[in-house]
Amino acid sequence: MSKMRYVLTFPFMSSPVISIVTATYNRSNILGFTIRSVLNQTFQEWELIVVGDCCTDDTESVVNGFQDSRITFINLKENFGEQSGPNNVGLKQAKGDFIAFLNHDDLWFPDHLAYSLNFLQSSGADLALAAGFIDHGEEKSYFYLSGVVSKKYGYHPSRIFVPASNWLFKRSLIQDVGFWRPARELHLVPSHDWLKRAFEAGKRIEPTRHFTVIALPSSSRKNSYKDRMSQDSQRCFEQLRDNPHFREQLAVKYLYNCFEESYYDEKTYYWRFFTKKIKTAFIKLGLNTIEFYMKRNYRKGGLVASYRQKRGLN
């Protein structure tokens, strides 16, 4: 792990229930929206640990500007290059009984923590997967929704990828599953690898079936870091803040798109039909189709490297 320096915003006054970890790198212009979506949560017994991956912009000033004793900023002395390193630093600092991750380009609806925590405690699950919307900006994608898990089959790492911003889990999982592994050692992205390991450790992973997350992936926006894109984050945050019907409107928009492409676009329909059959066969053989695809198409760390290039990072 890289050497790091600690910059504590304010001393923490009480023990939090949920520790939120946000890894960031030189996106101060969107990080503020992400932090505000935490401040606007109906559940307020949290701490937010923002870990900069050797940030060189004004990220520290942005975080300190909120003047909230529940928010801590740590800036790594050396750049790790992707979120697994910063996330592990955040996990080691966490005090809460429950852990959530929030990617620095994602947003939460105000009821995300309250709903996920209530679901986790009432269901007896070890880890809750919230449902979410994915905004790809101008880029076309077949994946508009996240955290939507089959009631028949349940969660399986071969069937679905769920971003870390959708998770809420018991802190005790860290002891059993371990910390995040770096991308350079993996064909999978580190978040999917961690969730796969939790599944293989026999942890109970359950979906909330409630949409509380908006992802705005930088990997869908060419030169998003280089050009410091922020307009989509600002637009979504303002809708979250001002539009009480925003969730319903997104649900109508994306569910319609998914239904249209999945059932009325013949190419997509048949592709999905055959890939589901293939996935089922792979699962019966104990194989992971997502990992199999990554091994065929990328070297270890290759997918994350391709994302860095698209984002405009060296």
Average pLDDT of the chain is 88
Q: Which of 131-140, 277-286, 302-311 has the lowest mean pLDDT?
A: 277-286
Alpha-carbon distance of 18 to 285, in angstroms, equals 38
pLDDT at 312: 77
pLDDT at 303: 75
Q: How many domains does the chain have?
A: 1
What is the residue type of 181?
A: R
Query: Is pLDDT above 90 for 10?
Result: no
Residue 88: pLDDT band with limits 50, 70, 90: very high
Alpha-carbon distance of 258 to 276, in angstroms, equals 16
pLDDT at 274: 66
Each residue's pLDDT tens digit, 225-276: 888 889 999 999 999 999 999 999 999 988 887 777 666 666 665 666 667 6
pTM, whole model, 2 decimals? 0.86
Q: Residue 45: which of 20, 73, 74 has the closest Cα?
A: 20
Q: 195 and 205 in contact (C-beta within 8 Å)?
A: yes
Question: Residues near 233 by Cβ (< 8 Å), separated by ≥ 6?
Answer: 30, 33, 34, 105, 107, 216
Per the DSSP assignment, residues forming a β-bridge with 169 are: 99, 127
- Of 81 and 213, the one with more pLDDT: 213
> Strands 145-146, 127-134: parallel, antiparallel or unpaired by DSSP?
antiparallel
**Which two structure tokens, joined as six digits, stand for 137?**
């900006």
Query: Is pLDDT above 50 for 173?
Result: yes
Alpha-carbon distance of 200 to 108, in angstroms, equals 28
**Which two structure tokens, joined as six digits, stand for 168?**
């809420």
pLDDT at 219: 82
- Under DSSP, the state recorded for 142 is S
Q: 47 and 113 in contact (C-beta within 8 Å)?
A: no
pLDDT at 305: 80
What is the residue type of 269?
A: Y
- Of 103 and 283, the one with more pLDDT: 103
213-215-216 Cα angle (round to 5): 150
Burial of 124 (0-12, 13-18, 19+ CB in 10 A): exposed
Range of the domain at 284: 4-311
Tokens 């709903």, residue located: 115
pLDDT at 300: 85
pLDDT at 273: 63
- CATH number for the domain including 294? 3.90.550.10
Residue 287: pLDDT band with limits 50, 70, 90: low
Query: Is pLDDT above 50 for 11?
Result: no
pLDDT at 12: 43
pLDDT at 37: 98
Each residue's pLDDT tens digit, 129-161: 999 999 987 776 667 899 999 888 899 998 889
Each residue's pLDDT tens digit, 174-200: 999 999 999 999 988 999 999 999 999
